[in-house]
Amino acid sequence: MFRKLKDSRKKEIVFFFEGKKLTAFDGETIASALLRSGEIFFRESKINNYRGPYCMIGICFECLLDVDEMQSVQSCQVTVKNNMQVKRHKVSNFSL
């Protein structure tokens, strides 16, 4: 499991993943905050088959999540904001 070394960044931000309350550091991306909390299932690729972040630089699209009103957000590229509602990106979530 991922953990953070002590550094100057201390301010904590609260956000929610699938309704669960989690914390992130100021400036941290959603993907990093989730990995530190032990969450590794991000995007649903088929029913009941999950993927997690792979490249962390925005090329692989495996870390897709639904963030607030936005679907298919690259969570390795977006920083956590206060009270953000984050959900797994599910195949069945597609609404046209």
Partner 1 sequence: MKDIFDIIVIGSGPAGISTSLTAYELGLNVLVIDEQSQVGGQIYKSIAENLDGNKGFLGKDYLKGKHLYERFISSGIEHWSETSVWQITENKEVCFKRNGLTGIIKSKFIVICGGAYERAMPITGWTLPGVMSVGAAQTLLKSFSVGADNCVFVGCGPLLYLTVYQYLKAGFKVKAVLDTSRLKQLYFSIPYFFPALINFNLLWQGLRWIKYISKHTKVYKRVKNLSILGKEKAQGIEITLSNEESLKIDTQNIFLHQGIIPNTNLTMATGIKHHWSQFQYCWHPTLSLTGESSINGIYVAGDNGAIGGVNASLTSGRIVALDIGKKLKKTTSFSKLFVWLQFLKDKSLQPFLDILFQLDTKFLVPNNNNEIVCRCENVNKSEIENSIKLGISGLNQLKSYCRAGMGNCQGRLCGLTVQTIIALRQNKNLDEVGYFRLRPPTKPITIKELSSLEEYSMDKKQNIL
Nearest to 69 by CA among 89, 90, 85: 85
Question: Tokens standing for 94?
Answer: 């597609």
- Closer residue to partner 1, CB minimum distance, 28 or 66: 28
Residues of this chain that interact with partner 1 (CB under 8 A) are 1-9, 25, 27-29, 32, 35-36, 40-42, 45-46, 49-62, 64, 72, 77, 79
- Closer residue to partner 1, CB minimum distance, 6 or 21: 6
Tell me how far CA of residue 36 lies from CA of 6, 31, 70, in angstroms: 13, 9, 23
Min CB(14)–partner 1 separation in Å: 17
